[in-house]
Amino acid sequence: MTLQLPTQNNGTHPQKATDSFTISQQKERLENLLYQKVQQGEDISPCIEALYYLASKQTTEDQLQVMWAEVARERSAFNSLQRVIITAFAILGMIAFFNGAFARVKPSAAANPPAVQAH
């Protein structure tokens, strides 16, 4: 048995009409429909099944959002750690380069002034 919610676009695309609503809006519409069916004495089991489906869909979406936030935090932490490691290796490389460059430079004799001898 298929449950169709009332549409406001003359029934042309009932699926698209419900897709544009949030889950809480869909729940509210189903609850209203459920209340109307109870008042009219109609079968309410399709409404209840749809409400259970929306509740589980909301729970799944909430879990996915939590997982996505965790992935984003882990990615951010990894990127930060990667930058720190790259910076540390760059600093160590510069230290090694300058140490090697300064160790090879020999002081020239022309740079030192002649010593004054006392008579």
Q: Is 11 left (phi over 0), alpha (psi -120 to 50) or beta?
A: left
For residue 108, the 8-state DSSP code is: P
Is residue 14 in a domain? no
Distance separating alpha carbons of residues 37 and 30, to the nearest angstrom? 10
- Torsions phi, psi for 63 (to 5 deg): -65, -40
Q: How many domains does the chain have?
A: 1
Is residue 109 in a domain? no
Is residue 2 in a domain? no
pLDDT tens per residue, range 57-112 = 888 888 999 999 999 999 999 999 999 999 999 999 999 999 988 887 766 655 55
Is residue 111 in a domain? no
Written as six digits, the tokens of 80 are 């930060």
Range of the domain at 75: 23-103
Q: How many CA atoms lie within 13 A of 72 on its CB side?
A: 6
Would you state the pLDDT for residue 48?
A: 82
Is residue 118 in a domain? no
- Torsions phi, psi for 90 (to 5 deg): -65, -40
Is residue 61 in a domain? yes
To the question of pTM greater than 0.85 for the whole model, the response is: no
